Chain A
Amino acid sequence: MTDSKYFTTTKKGEIFELKAELNSDKKEKKKEAVKKVIASMTVGKDVSALFPDVVNCMQTDNLELKKLVYLYLMNYAKSQPDMAIMAVNTFVKDCEDPNPLIRALAVRTMGCIRVDKITEYLCEPLRKCLKDEDPYVRKTAAVCVAKLHDINAQLVEDQGFLDTLKDLISDSNPMVVANAVAALSEIAESHPNSNLLDLNPQSINKLLTALNECTEWGQIFILDCLANYTPRDDRESQSICERVTPRLSHANSAVVLSAVKVLMKFMEMLPKDLDYYGTLLKKLAPPLVTLLSAEPELQYVALRNINLIVQKRPEILKHEMKVFFVKYNDPIYVKLEKLDIMIRLASQANIAQVLAELKEYATEVDVDFVRKAVRAIGRCAIKVEQSAERCVSTLLDLIQTKVNYVVQEAIVVIKDIFRKYPNKYESVIATLCENLDSLDEPEARAAMIWIVGEYAERIDNADELLESFLEGFHDESTQVQLQLLTAIVKLFLKKPTETQELVQQVLSLATQDSDNPDLRDRGYIYWRLLSTDPVAAKEVVLAEKPLISEETDLIEPTLLEELICHIGTLASVYHKPPSAFVEGSRGVMHKRLPARTGSGEGTECPDVGNAAGGSAPEAAPSIIPSQGDLLGDLLNLDLAPPTTTGPTPSTSGMQMGGMDLLGGGLDSLMDESEPPHVPLQTDPPQSPSPQPPSPVYTHTDYTYTDYSHTDSPPDHSSTEHSPPAELGGDIGGSPAMGAGFGAAPTVMPASLNAPVGGGLGDLFDLGGGVGMPMGAYIPPKTVWLPAMKAKGLEISGTFARRAGVIQMELVLTNKAMSVMTDFAIQFNRNSFGLAPAGPLQVLTPLGPNQTIEVSLPLSTVGPVMKMDPLNNLQVAVKNNIDVFYFSCQYPISMLFVEDGKMERQVFLATWKDIPNDNESQFQIQDCHLNSEAASNKLQGSNIFTIAKRTVEGQDMLYMSIKLSNGIWVLAELKVQAGNPNYTISLKCRAPEVSQCVFQCYEAVLKN
């Protein structure tokens, strides 16, 4: 049979003819006519005038005809509500039909007719169908509840359909369960506060059972629903993961991705040292790689998701670089995504291979792809320091090809490489300058101008080069104009004698001839700065730039967390939260990852992130709680000091000191209940005015120019989402600092700060001096957090035990350009329960190039988790700019308590009591102390000698140590006169600590 003829009727008077045919007595003719009507409808013709005639055909026992009429009804009922009523009787009758297919058809269609009057009649049939004996009818009715809810939510609630729907979750038929889950999930989405999908271990169990039996689509509904559940503890989490992992082998990619979503989310709760955690990580990689052999559209979805997964857990795919190599025939969207992931996976181990590939790609045809490949080479240079040189030479090779867009792209990335590795690759500038004329894109021109300005002193004809740009100043884009202005000012400050004319020219072009306010303002600022105080101008304009970070286009962590909860969905494809592209209430609810909890411990520790994630998922997160969540996730921390239970106004006041009021957006957002903070955020200096440059204004400008300098590869998505803290903090903080800043930015704050920091240190020194005759061993300070990794904040430090108090001694150095305030510190759970005993005492803001020493008293009553190595401590430090993480190792000797001297008898008994398996032996080499001196020295670190024996010229020292958590370590030290090598045997019930204790012996004895 050929139906295509129905598409070709275009005669005039067609409607009239159809009308006649519809009313024909012959069944066949009627059917033909209805088909014609449907064909016209499909093409977009208005055939609503035939409504009564079509509805008249409804009363038929021909199922095919009936279906066609229903299709028509669904389309036009809304435009003819009164006449649609005519159909109700047939629907109601069909819902009683003996044939289950017809009953289901009726209830399915009725739900699609969005006319209020009809919905009233729908309730009774729907109620019956929900309890129908046939599963096919029940599964259709389940979806119908969602349809009805969409039309009239109140009606559904009043009629009690929601309860019936909940009952269907326990239905014996898996498909009914799946559809009920789908319907409930959808309804729950529009009622974020209702407890509709009351997920509890019992109902989860039912879902997991149904998961094994239902269709591929049903499995997706169930997995997507499971992903919304938050398990009570890590054990439940693990058992769900175990039952979900088999889905990773399903042929349907959507089932696989939804399973990955559940696993990624629940994994968050598993302790990292669990064997199962590692197994799970390993299981995730193969199915993700398999997704790449699916059809290209699915590959695209998979790649967008892998991009998120790689950012969240790079370890999963770190060995799978090769599968992301671009194939010549891949569609362009697949190519671009693969490239992105290649860069993310690039590491020292695979960089050679990656570079070879990227070079290959840079010769392809598609312009976007080539550009991205060139950019990728630059990003590799920034990411993997060892490869920088090779990357630069590859870029130079590409510049030699003279392909216009390749050259421009290469110059843009070389600028970033200069920023990352200053004073290293300037030799290539000459080559870059050769290509000056071919640059026609603003970004490339601006990059080139930046390079010329930055290295003006090394480019002989810098003035000529910049002058050549100046000729067409007004035709340039703003980006180029601003950059040119700054570059010429830099040039002037470096070579003042020859370039006066040039700088005057550019200043007048910017201030007098331009109507761009940004340009004009910047011009005025420079002008005033240069005319009032050239020294200050030099300080400001030629100041050392903060380093650019490694990853310029990472998704902001809170957003990343949210997107991980949306794996497989559109949000994960767009890399945007659902609220950004979904209208109305749906999807506004933010999802987050659960916090990691140990079994049973989770509820005890006061954890803001955990509490917010667990019990109040509907609360829309403001910036601060979500930051807290991030902490909670990575380090199981909260923002407030550990001794308090939450961010109360008093703690934040104490913590931030006087700076709180000025500290910018972060803190005022943290306590939304405190109104006084809010108005201060919009400081008057923010509004630009070209009038007399007050010192405050200078500072604002300073930040501003710096922004254009830091202009690393612009990634709009990341700037969009990053919290405005950086800017807000700077500007907000400026009035306080500004006065001193403009004049002498380095001297003033330092002098302000020094007495405080030093004073504190002195106090502690005193305390230390009293308690210990010998003085405990304190390792030298080491750099824990290099400035490069922490946006300019450098942290070095050590640990000490003074008068029985463990101290963390920190040196904070601000190597960035902006003032840092609002410091706070947190530890992750660790082997010995170390935790800060008070807040981090940084009372004054830390200005650029300023250093402060802080002592942080520590307690050992914090939450415990075994670390590897045992004495590893993971720390998070927050300031107004960001949160930084580092880990350091503490000498275990600071945990040796003062009452660690054991009675001789007890010692003997204990030594025998501890099994020999727990004994470990070590050699200490090159130690030239005699046994007496060694014993004294060790006593200073609370290692007590209990007895001494001399056997054949060999001194045997027996010693005891008690750790802060009550563990005893017994030691036997053999010292032979004349032999610089000691032998030490350690016995302990917890043999893991032996290695650390030995390290302490070595450190103490050798210092």
Chain B
Amino acid sequence: MIGGLFIYNHKGEVLISRVYRDDIGRNAVDAFRVNVIHARQQVRSPVTNIARTSFFHVKRSNIWLAAVTKQNVNAAMVFEFLYKMCDVMASYFGKISEENIKNNFVLIYELLDEILDFGYPQNSETGSLKTFITQQGIKGQHQTKEEQSQITSQVTGQIGWRREGIKYRRNELFLDVLESVNLLMSPQGQVLSAHVSGRVVMKSYLSGMPECKFGMNDKIIIDKAGKGGVTNEAGKSDLGGGGSTSGKQSIAIDDCTFNQCVRLSKFDSERSISFIPPDGEYELMRYRTTKDIILPFRVIPLVREVGRTKLEVKVVIKSNFKPSLLAQKIEVRIPTPLNTSGVQVICMKGKAKYKASENAIVWKIKRMAGMKESQISAEIELLPTNDKKKWARPPISMNFEVPFAPSGLKVRYLKVFESKLNYSDHDVIKWVRYIGRSGIYETRC
């Protein structure tokens, strides 16, 4: 298991050092600094073995987090733990920076004591941690016995992510379907790979211990319901987020993963998503689709080399969605060679600028409706070089935001049941929103 955990600043100075196992000595701290942080080469692996000691590291801005071990630990777990550790710290004091870490070092030690015991990760849900570890020192000494045992039962209990006795005057929930659409397209317009990775983020402000059931236009469920000849009564309580409720438009989900609150065995057997939600904001599920993706934009590049000192670039972008919808924050990034000496740009819409420091022409358009087309053309002057190596021509990348889900996912219902308290599904105010963003959206040129 994890033998020790160190946090360094960008210079390699130790900010936090917590050793859990006897086989990790003080020299391990220095070994990582010398061999990884101060190494001249770019990092070649997130796992480094130095003198039979293994170091796992992740970097957040300029802070290094390193977990150390001498055993054959579960590597995936160590990284998951490091990410979780970052999340926990961020939820306590915001951005992970040298200053914040120094300001909260006592708190961090307390957290490390609680979430990692003898190198075994323990409860790391911020919801329950915050009930007894706070920035104002530890609660606990003034609590009643009931409160104390409530804390411990929550920390160790089956529903560690939610505490009892939450009350809201207005029961409300917000669902965000956030998708990032990824594309790699050949210069000829052939889709080399495309996938959507989506997240359903929920903000719940619900009283008591509500039981929730979430439904979407997942092909498997819809087909199942269709076969059975039973109209899904849940279909009636549509949230009105995305139009038609009939199971016509269903999507094939390649794979999905769920927050730990979701009952996985139930999903496996019935494919129904039921859970008791954590309070506040959390990620309910992640999913991935590869079939029938709506690619919001198509990029058509044309690069022509005119002699050795000039390039002509023409890029057309086409929006490919309903004309009534508006895409925002559109940015096209056209890479230029390192020996570029000057660039002239003409674009029909938006603003374009050559940014020498980034070796790219950046073309920004604030808004663009569906089924439209726009064009940019540029002349790039090159300095003559005797570098034999040809320019690698990095792909043209794009950023944008659209108000629909490129995967076609629709929320069909989210039902809330709380038997003990006096509110029903109809009393809950529900909101749903779809945002599609560009992930890695590249077209080779």
Let me know if A111 is at the binding interface, CB within 8 A: yes
Interchain CA distance A322-B182 in the complex, whole Å: 13
Interchain CA distance A566-B70 in the complex, whole Å: 16
A258: which B residues are within 8 A, CB to CB?
74, 76-77
Partner of A64, one of B15, B106, B265: B106
Interchain CA distance A807-B27 in the complex, whole Å: 68
Contact across chains for A42 and B156 when beta carbons are under 8 A apart: no
Contact across chains for B80 and A252 when beta carbons are under 8 A apart: yes
- 11 further contact pairs, Cβ within 8 A, besides A6-B105, A251-B283, A296-B46: A64-B138, A217-B81, A258-B77, A289-B254, A298-B76, A328-B394, A363-B390, A363-B393, A401-B388, A402-B388, A569-B74
How many Cβ-Cβ contacts under 8 Å join chain A to chain B? 290
B148: which A residues are within 8 A, CB to CB?
99-101
Partner of B49, one of A68, A243, A402, A574: A574
Let me know if B385 is at the binding interface, CB within 8 A: no
Q: Given A143-B118, A221-B120, A251-B286: A570 and B47 within 8 A (CB)?
A: yes
Binding site for A on B (CB under 8 A): 1, 13-17, 19-23, 26, 29, 42-47, 49, 52, 54, 56-58, 69-77, 79-83, 99, 102-106, 109-110, 113, 117-118, 120-125, 132, 135-138, 140-141, 143, 145, 148-149, 151-153, 155-158, 160, 184, 186, 192-193, 195, 197, 254-260, 263-265, 267-268, 283, 285-286, 288, 388-390, 392-395, 397, 440, 442, 444
Interchain CA distance A335-B89 in the complex, whole Å: 30
Contact across chains for A586 and B103 when beta carbons are under 8 A apart: no
B19: which A residues are within 8 A, CB to CB?
75
Residue of A nearest to B49 (CB): A581
Which of A133-141, A449-457, A615-623, A698-706 lines the interface with chain B?
A133-141
Contact with B along A208-219 (1 / 0, CB 8 A): 000011111100
Let me know if A35 is at the binding interface, CB within 8 A: yes
Contact across chains for B258 and A100 when beta carbons are under 8 A apart: no
Partner of B77, one of A220, A247, A300: A220
Partner of B257, one of A143, A214, A256, A353: A256
Contact across chains for A297 and B124 when beta carbons are under 8 A apart: no
A322: which B residues are within 8 A, CB to CB?
192-193
Least Cβ distance of B62 to chain A in Å? Answer: 16
Contact across chains for B138 and A217 when beta carbons are under 8 A apart: no
Contact across chains for A289 and B71 when beta carbons are under 8 A apart: no
Contact across chains for B156 and A173 when beta carbons are under 8 A apart: yes
Contact across chains for A44 and B76 when beta carbons are under 8 A apart: no
B43: which A residues are within 8 A, CB to CB?
331, 333
Contact across chains for B17 and A42 when beta carbons are under 8 A apart: yes
Contact across chains for B76 and A587 when beta carbons are under 8 A apart: no
Let me know if A758 is at the binding interface, CB within 8 A: no
Let me know if A732 is at the binding interface, CB within 8 A: no
A100: which B residues are within 8 A, CB to CB?
148-149, 152
Partner of A300, one of B15, B23, B46, B160: B46
Partner of B75, one of A68, A402, A568: A568
Contact across chains for A253 and B76 when beta carbons are under 8 A apart: yes
Let me know if A332 is at the binding interface, CB within 8 A: yes
A296: which B residues are within 8 A, CB to CB?
46
Contact across chains for B145 and A297 when beta carbons are under 8 A apart: no
Of A186, A249, A325, A582, chain B has the most CB atoms within 10 Å of the CB of A249
Residue of B nearest to A297 (CB): B46
Contact across chains for B192 and A582 when beta carbons are under 8 A apart: no
Contact across chains for A403 and B388 when beta carbons are under 8 A apart: yes
- Name the 7 nearest CB pairs between A and B, nearest first: A286-B255, A4-B102, A136-B152, A254-B76, A246-B268, A254-B77, A578-B72
Let me know if A809 is at the binding interface, CB within 8 A: no
A68: which B residues are within 8 A, CB to CB?
106, 109
Residue of A nearest to B83 (CB): A295
Partner of B72, one of A135, A214, A566: A566
Contact across chains for A570 and B257 when beta carbons are under 8 A apart: no
Question: 5 interchain pairs (CB within 8 A)?
Answer: A68-B109, A250-B260, A254-B80, A301-B75, A582-B71
Residue of B nearest to A150 (CB): B22
Contact across chains for B72 and A570 when beta carbons are under 8 A apart: yes
B143: which A residues are within 8 A, CB to CB?
99
Interchain CA distance A98-B120 in the complex, whole Å: 26
Contact across chains for A101 and B140 when beta carbons are under 8 A apart: yes
B102: which A residues are within 8 A, CB to CB?
3-4, 7
Residue of A nearest to B19 (CB): A75
Residues of chain A from 349 to 364 with CB closer than 8 A to chain B in the complex: 353, 356-357, 360, 363-364
Contact across chains for A251 and B267 when beta carbons are under 8 A apart: no
Least Cβ distance of A676 to chain B in Å? Answer: 39
Residues of chain A from 178 to 223 with CB closer than 8 A to chain B in the complex: 179, 182, 186, 212-217, 220-221
Q: Given A42-B14, A403-B388: A583 and B52 within 8 A (CB)?
A: yes
Interchain CA distance A17-B392 in the complex, whole Å: 62
Contact across chains for A3 and B104 when beta carbons are under 8 A apart: yes
B184: which A residues are within 8 A, CB to CB?
325, 327
Let me know if A302 is at the binding interface, CB within 8 A: yes
Residues of chain A from 695 to 745 with CB closer than 8 A to chain B in the complex: none
Residues of A in contact with B, size category: 35 or more
Interchain CA distance A323-B444 in the complex, whole Å: 17
Contact across chains for A333 and B44 when beta carbons are under 8 A apart: yes
A42: which B residues are within 8 A, CB to CB?
14-17, 105
Q: Given A136-B152, A212-B264, A583-B52: A220 and B388 within 8 A (CB)?
A: no
Residues of chain A from 541 to 570 with CB closer than 8 A to chain B in the complex: 566, 568-570
Interchain CA distance A112-B49 in the complex, whole Å: 26
Least Cβ distance of B374 to chain A in Å? Answer: 24
Least Cβ distance of A354 to chain B in Å? Answer: 11
Partner of B156, one of A175, A332, A566: A175
Residues of chain A from 286 to 312 with CB closer than 8 A to chain B in the complex: 286-287, 289-290, 293, 295-298, 300-302
Interchain CA distance A245-B255 in the complex, whole Å: 13
Partner of B54, one of A136, A323, A581, A587: A581
Least Cβ distance of A567 to chain B in Å? Answer: 9
Contact across chains for A360 and B49 when beta carbons are under 8 A apart: no
Partner of A251, one of B15, B260, B444: B260
Least Cβ distance of B360 to chain A in Å? Answer: 13
Contact across chains for B388 and A569 when beta carbons are under 8 A apart: no
Least Cβ distance of B439 to chain A in Å? Answer: 9
Least Cβ distance of B67 to chain A in Å? Answer: 11
Of B257, B258, B395, chain A has the most CB atoms within 10 Å of the CB of B257
Interchain CA distance A175-B45 in the complex, whole Å: 33
B390: which A residues are within 8 A, CB to CB?
363, 401
Let me know if A257 is at the binding interface, CB within 8 A: yes
Residue of A nearest to B42 (CB): A332
Interchain CA distance A101-B154 in the complex, whole Å: 12
B193: which A residues are within 8 A, CB to CB?
322-323, 325
Partner of B73, one of A1, A143, A569: A569
Interchain CA distance A851-B99 in the complex, whole Å: 78
Let me know if A153 is at the binding interface, CB within 8 A: no
Contact across chains for A401 and B389 when beta carbons are under 8 A apart: yes
Contact across chains for A1 and B135 when beta carbons are under 8 A apart: yes
Contact across chains for B288 and A293 when beta carbons are under 8 A apart: yes
B70: which A residues are within 8 A, CB to CB?
582-583
Interchain CA distance A357-B257 in the complex, whole Å: 30
Partner of B267, one of A150, A213, A246, A254: A246
Contact across chains for A143 and B120 when beta carbons are under 8 A apart: yes
Contact with B along A478-501 (1 / 0, CB 8 A): 000000000000000000000000
Contact across chains for A64 and B49 when beta carbons are under 8 A apart: no
A356: which B residues are within 8 A, CB to CB?
186
Contact across chains for A3 and B389 when beta carbons are under 8 A apart: no
Contact across chains for B105 and A3 when beta carbons are under 8 A apart: yes
Least Cβ distance of A30 to chain B in Å? Answer: 14
Let me know if A43 is at the binding interface, CB within 8 A: yes
Least Cβ distance of A241 to chain B in Å? Answer: 12
Contact across chains for B117 and A108 when beta carbons are under 8 A apart: yes
Interchain CA distance A365-B444 in the complex, whole Å: 16
Q: Given A3-B104, A250-B257, A254-B80: A143 and B117 within 8 A (CB)?
A: yes
Let me know if A371 is at the binding interface, CB within 8 A: no
Partner of B47, one of A182, A212, A220, A573: A573
